[in-house]
Structure 1
Amino acid sequence: MIFSDRITAAGKLAEALSEYQDRNPLILAIPRGAVPMAKVIAEELNGEMDVVLVRKLRAPGNPEFAIGSVDESGWVYLTEYAEQAGADQDYINREVSVQLETIRQRRAQYTPMHPPVDPAGRIVIVIDDGLATGSTMIAALHALRNKKPAELICAVPVAPPETLRKLEGKADRTVCLSSPLNFYAVGQFYADFPQVTDEEVIACLAGSNRREKE
């Protein structure tokens, strides 16, 4: 399945999640690519949106390759191949520090006027534009599980089968529209896949539905 763009994929995800419409779901995007998608889904489901801040840990010499991830609390997930990729403990400690600083900067930039929306007791749907290794989604689900949502859902347009297997048990439900065997990168499943800028993220969050705080 090829999606024309993120907004089209978001519309299809909203259809797949229609049972949560008008149940005030909290739609949490993993920045940056998923933020415009979460806005669409929140509007379609009549819910609320925010971001969940996690960062991948980059492999030495290969910043596009994830060897793990870190959440906003500092909890670290490492893949089984992190050491094989050349990441010793000193490297991991430095990379975690770098990514935590990025998380702090993004929190200050994205949500300067309000704290993160509390997921406790809520239907929480975590959105990304696709999963490759699944590292950041695993960190996001771990962080949110600790905050006691009523139901925790992972929802993505596309992910390889082996990544979906890694997610088993980490969410109450996983919704994935396409799970191709020949998977190289998320972008190969979009006709139009531009980078989402910080300015776009801020605009989406500023214009999002925050009835509970008004």
Structure 2
Amino acid sequence: MGTKNQAMLFRDREDAARQLAAKLGKLKDQHPLVLAIPRGGVPMGRSIADAINGEFDIVLVRKLRAPGHPEFAVGAVDEHGTMQVADYAAAVGADDDYLLREKETQMSVIRERRKIYTPHRSSINPAGRTIVVVDDGLATGATMMAALNMLRQSNPPRLICAIPVAAPDSLRKVEALVDEVICLSTPENFQAVGQFYQNFSQVEDEEVIAALEHI
């Protein structure tokens, strides 16, 4: 668990990854499976996996966007098509018909990303592995929760969420889904993940592909 109510400013994702890796050092002898949520979590997951002698892969989930507000999540969908829908979704205009359309839109993105990112192999089997799921921060937490719910079905002996910064309410929801949360900062003034990074440049597909080429 991170430092409650304290806002930390990270230089960039690499800086955040180094700090998370230091907290995860106890896993070095367990050969954990480090799974990153594309795209922002990927360079961090790669660095963490290298630092703790872990195996690295991605977990593909996509947020379901609110009508007219694409940055605001009303839920998420995983690679198997399972949706997690927020209890406020209908209140912001995301009715069942909208959600089904948005689900198919995001499933198309997931299928395309799988073809681009790992064209010559399937995802690494998480069964029986200590799993660390990494992203660059939690805003609503929707995509992280979708990833964790999907991975829990493989019955890992230990499921860990590692993030540099999180909105306090979202972190509480995630804590209920994992065996352990490593979070460095849970500031009360949370508005967006990017506000806690000096450099929060977008991660491009090419960077994701390069990170996965070493597997």
TM-score, normalising length from structure 1? 0.96
Determine the C-alpha separation between the residues in 2 that align with 1:202 and 1:69.
Answer: 23
Selected match of 2:200 from 193, 201, 207: 193
Selected match of 1:154 from 155, 161, 166: 161
Q: How many residues align?
A: 208
* Identity of matched residues, %: 57
Structure 1's consecutive aligned runs of 4 or more residues displaced over 4 angstroms after TM superposition are none
Q: 1:135 is matched with which residue?
A: 142
After superposition, the CA RMSD in angstroms is 0.7
Instruction: Please give the per-residue CA displacement for 1:172-201, whole angstroms capped at 9, x wherever unaligned.
Output: 111100000000100000000000000100
Q: Which amino acid aligns with 1:93?
A: L
Larger RCO, structure (CA 8 Å, separation 6 or more): 2
Determine the C-alpha separation between the residues in 1 that align with 2:113 and 2:156.
Answer: 23
Asked if the contact 1:29–1:38 (Cα under 8 Å) also holds between the matched residues in 2, the reply is yes
TM-score, normalising length from structure 2? 0.95
SS at match of 1:13: helix
Deviation at 1:168, TM superposition (A): 2.7
Q: 1:69 is matched with which residue?
A: 76
SS at match of 2:109: helix
SS at match of 2:38: coil
Instruction: Please give the per-residue CA displacement for 1:7-56, whole angstroms capped at 9, x wherever unaligned.
Output: 00000000011110131110000000010001100110011100000000
SS at match of 1:97: helix
SS at match of 1:187: helix
Q: 2:107 is matched with which residue?
A: 100
Determine the C-alpha separation between the residues in 2 that align with 1:46 and 1:168.
Answer: 25
Determine the C-alpha separation between the residues in 2 that align with 1:130 and 1:168.
Answer: 14
Structure 2 segments unaligned to the other structure (5+ residues): 1-7
Determine the C-alpha separation between the residues in 2 that align with 1:149 and 1:114.
Answer: 22
Q: 2:9 is matched with which residue?
A: 2
Q: Which amino acid aligns with 1:8?
A: D
Instruction: Please give the per-residue CA displacement for 1:142-189, whole angstroms capped at 9, x wherever unaligned.
Output: 010001212100000000111111113201111100000000100000
Q: 2:131 is matched with which residue?
A: 124
Instruction: Please give the per-residue CA displacement for 1:49-77, whole angstroms capped at 9, x wherever unaligned.
Output: 00000000000000000000000111100
Q: 1:166 is matched with which residue?
A: 173
